Structure 1
Amino acid sequence: MSQEIELTILMPCLNEAETLEICVQKAQKFLIDYQIVGEVIIADNGSTDGSQEIAIRNGAQVVAISTKGYGAALRGGIEMARGKYIIMGDSDNSYDFSSLESFVRRLREGYDLVMGNRFEGGIEKDAMPFLHRYLGNPGLSFIGRLFFRSNTRDFYCGLRGFKRDSVLDMNLKTTGMEFALEMVVKAGLNELNVTEVPTKLYPDGRNRPPHLRTWRDGWRSLRFFLLYSPRWLFLIPGFSLLLVGVLLSVILTLNPVIIGGVRFDIHTLLYSCSMIFIGFQCITFYYFASVFAVREGLLPERSFPVSLLDIFTLERGVFAGLILIISGIFLSVQLFRVWVYNDFGDLVNPAKTFRLAIPAVTLSIIGVQIVLYSFFYSILGLKTKP
C-alpha cells in the first residue's frame, strides 16, 4: 500500500453483471503478469443487478457515482483514481484488458493520450454494427479530424489510456456519451501529445441491447462537433455568405447583369443584401460564442484569438458603425431628392430607386448592429480580461 500506484484500470458500469467479472479478472491478470503496481476501479452509475458485489469479490474498488451518464461515471472514476496513468474501457468484455501493454508502453514514453484504433487492430464479426463500421464511425471521425486538426483515426474507441493530471487539467464538462469525444477534442485543442495503438474489438458478452443508439448518438456526436467548433458552424459559412453578398450587391447596385439571357436586377439585389445580413449575424455570433466558451472553460484560450478584444474596442466599433449609418443616410438623402423632384408622387422607375433604397437600408441596419454589438462585445471582454 506504501508503493506509488502507476496505473489505474477504470471501467464505467451500469448493470454489467454478465460481463464485469471476466473484465476485472483480465485487468487483475494484466497487472500481475506485467508486474505493474496498479488498481482496478469500477465507476458504478447505479447498478441494480449486483455488479458492485461482483467487482468487490474480484478485488476491484467500487466508486459510486450518483450523477447519471457515461461521462459522469468516468469523470468520477478519474477523480478517485490514484494511478499516474489511467486506462479506461467498457465493462462489456468487448476489449481485452489482459492485453494493455502497448498502452502502458506509450504512456511511459511520455504521451498524454493513447487512443485505441479498432480499424487497425481488427474488428471481429458482429462486434460493430454495419452502419457504425462503414458509415458512422469513419464519417464522424473524419469530421473530427477536419474540424480539430486531429490525427486520431478512431474517435469512438472506448479503450484509451491517458495521464491522469493531463485529463484533469482539461476540465472536461460533459456528462453523457460526449465525454469521450470531448477528451479527444480538447486534447487536440490543448496541444497534448496524442497517439494511437491497434486495438481489437470483440462482440460484447451481454444478452441485452447496448446503451448506444445509432441515430440519436450519431446526431449528438455531430452536434457536439459543431458546438465545439464555432469556426465551422458560424465563421466560415458566415464569411462566405458575407463575401458573396457584398460582391453581388456592389455589382447589382451599379447596373443589372444579364447572363445567358437571364436578367439579374433589383430582386436579386434584395436577396444578395439578405446574404450580407445573415453572414454578418453568423460572424458576430461566432465571436460571442467563442468568447463565452473560453470564459466558461469549454474551450482553451489558444483556440480563439482573445487578443481581438484589444483590437476591436468599443470606440472603434462605434466609429465603424457610424460610418455605415452615415453612408446609409447619404444614399437615403439622394433617394429623397429624387422623390422631391417628382413632387412626392409615385416613383415611376422602381428599378432605379430600389437600387438606392436597398443598399441604404442595408448599410444603416448593419451600422446600427455594429454599434450595439460593440457594446455587448465590450461587456464580454470585461469579464474575459484578467
Structure 2
Amino acid sequence: MPDSEDVCVLIPTLNEAETIGEVIGGFQERGFSNVLVVDGSSNDKTQEIARSHDARVIEQSGVGKGQAVREGIESAESEYILMLDGDGTYKPEDADVMLEPLDDGYEHVIGNRFANLENGSMTRLNRFGNRIINRAFSIIHGQDFRDILSGYHAFSRKSAERAYLTSDGFGVETELAVECVKHSVPTTVVPITYEERPDESETNLHPIWDGGDIIMTLYQLAKTNNPLFYFGSVGFFSIFVGLLVGSYVGFEWFLATPRESHEVLAVVAGVSIIFGVQLLMFGVLSDMIVTLHREQMRRIDERR
C-alpha cells in the first residue's frame, strides 16, 4: 500500500458541517495528514470545521462537484489521490482496501458500494437508477465496473493527468470511469461499505435531474469512446422511423380502398432511411479511426 505521506485525501464539499469533522478526523487517525477540502461556497460552517481539523481548504472558483474535483486534482501535489464525499457515507477504515491495488500495478480503484450496502443508505429509486446506469455503461463502453457512480476513488496522479474531465456536476464519476476505459488505465473494483447518511446532513443529489445529467454524460462520452454505438443508435432509430412511415405509405397505396398517395410522407420516409444509413456508415468509419488511434497510442506507450 502507498505510504500515507504520498496520498492526498480529496474531499469535495457543499454544506457538510454535520459530518466533515468526523470524516477528516477518521483519516487523520489512520495517518493521512494531507487532507484537501474543496468547498463549493458552503453557507454553513463546513470550511471553519475543516480548518479546525488541520485540513487544507480551498474554495472552488465555480459550482458543482465535477468542477470541485478538477480543482482538487490540480491542487493536490501527492503521487496518489484518495477521493470521497464528505457526507459521512464512506468509511475512512476502507482507505487501506482502496489504496492497496495501487501497489499491484493498478492506476485507478473504484469502491463498490453494493458489496456492503447498509440498510437505509440508498433509496429504491437511487438503487434502480444505479443499476440502469451501470448496465448502460457496460453495454456502451464494454467494461463492467459494477458501481461507476461510487464517490470513493483512489488513483495515481499519472492517470488523473491523462483524464479529460469537463462535467461540472455529478457526472464526474461517470467521466472518470469512461476515461479509464478510453485510455486503457489499469482499473480494478474493490468492496467497500456504504453507510446511511446522518439525519442532520442533507443530500445535494437530486435523483431525477442529476440522474438525467449522468445518463446524458454517459451517452455523450460514447461519441469518442464508442462512436459506433453513438451514431449507430441514432441511425437505427432514423431507419426504424423511415420504415414505419414507409410501411404506412405502402399500405395506403397498395392495400387501402380507395387508394391514397402520400408523397410528402414518402419523401420523409426515404430521407429518414438514407440519413440513418449514412449515420451507420459514419459510425463504422469513426469506430475504425478510434481503434487505429488506440493502437498507435499503445505502441507509443510501449516505447516510452
Structure 2-normalised TM-score? Answer: 0.80
Shift of 1:98: 2.8
Report which structure shows greater RCO (CA 8 Å, sep ≥6).
2
Q: Does 1:67 align with 2:62?
A: yes
Tell me which residue corresponds to 1:164: 157
One of 6, 29, 34 as aligned partner of 1:39: 34
Structure 1 residue 88: Cα displacement: 0.5
SS in 2 for 1:63: strand
- In the alignment, which residue of structure 1 is the partner of 2:15? 15
Tell me how far apart the structure 2 counterparts of residues 234 and 306 of structure 1 sit (CA, whole Å).
Answer: 18
CA positional deviation for 1:240: 7.3
Q: What's the offset of the Cα at 1:275?
A: 3.2
Note if contact 1:70-1:177 (Cα within 8 Å) is conserved in structure 2: yes
- Structure 2 match to 1:144: 137
- The 1-side partners of 2:184 and 2:289 are apart by 9
Letter of the aligned partner of 1:6 in structure 2? Answer: D
Q: In the superposition, relative to structure 1, how do residues 54 and 189 fare at CA in structure 2: closer, same or farther (>3 Å)?
A: same
- Residues 249-300 of structure 1: per-residue CA shift (max 9 Å, x gap): 9xx99xx988xx99x9976965652332331464487699x79xxxxxxxxx
1:108 lines up with 2:114 in the alignment: no
Helix, strand or coil at the partner of 1:229: helix
Inter-partner Cα distance in structure 2 for 1:63 and 1:281 = 49
| Residues 88-135 of structure 1: CA deviation (Å, up to 9, x unaligned) | 111010011133111111111121110011111x111211111111x1
**What's 2:81 paired with?**
86
Give the direction of change, closer, same or farther, for the CA distance of 1:56–1:208 in structure 2 (3 Å limit).
closer
Q: Deviation per CA, 1:302-345, whole angstroms, max 9, x where unpaired?
A: 746679xxxxxxxxxxxxxxxxxxxxxxxxxxxxxxxxxxxxxx
Aligned length: 281
Q: Percent identity?
A: 27
Asked if 1:235 corresponds to 2:232, the answer is: yes
Partner of 1:215: 208
Match of 1:131 in 2: 125
| CA apart distance, 1:171 | 2.3
Aligned partner letter, 2:92:
F
Partner Cα distance (2:26, 2:65) in 1 = 22
- How many angstroms does 1:45 deviate by? 1.5
Matched residue type, 1:86: I
Contact 2:18 2:201 in 1 (8 A): no
* Letter of the 1:111 counterpart: Y
Q: TM-score under structure 1 normalisation?
A: 0.64
Q: Could you tell me how far apart the structure 2 residues matched to 1:168 and 1:16 are?
A: 28
Where in structure 2 are the equivalents of 1:1-386 lying within 5 Å? 5-31=5-31, 39-120=34-115, 122-133=116-127, 135-230=128-223, 231-238=228-235, 272-280=269-277, 282-283=279-280, 303=290
Larger radius of gyration: 1
Distance 1:14 1:206, change over 3 A: farther
d(CA) in 1 for partners of 2:200, 2:35: 24
Q: In 2, distance between residues paired with 1:81 and 1:103?
A: 18
Q: CA deviation at 1:138?
A: 0.7
1:153 aligned partner, one-letter code: R
Q: Alpha carbon RMSD of aligned pairs, Å? A: 3.5
Letter in 1 for 2:113: R
Residues 269, 41 of structure 1: alpha-carbon distance in 2 compared, 3 angstrom cutoff: same
Q: Which runs of 5+ in 2 are unaligned?
A: 295-304
- CA deviations over 1:355-376 (Å, ceiling 9, x no partner): xxxxxxxxxxxxxxxxxxxxxx
- Cα distance in 1 between the residues matched to 2:13 and 2:214: 21
Q: Secondary structure at the match of 1:114?
A: strand
Q: Distance in 1 between matches of 2:145 and 2:89?
A: 20
| Cα distance change, pair 244–50 in 1 and its aligned pair in 2 (3 A) | closer
8 Å Cα contact 1:20-1:93 kept in structure 2? yes
CA distance in 1, matches of 2:13, 2:194: 18
- 4+ long deviations beyond 3 Å: 239-246, 264-272, 280-288, 301-307
Distance of 1:93 and 1:4 partners within structure 2? 21
Cα gap change, 1:189 to 1:302, in 2 (>3 Å): farther
- 2:4·2:31 contact (CA, 8 Å) conserved in 1? no
Looking at structure 2, the residues matched to 240 and 14 of structure 1 have their Cα atoms a distance apart, in angstroms, of: 41
Contact 1:19 1:206 in 2 (8 A): no
Partners of 1:81 and 1:107 in 2: CA distance: 17
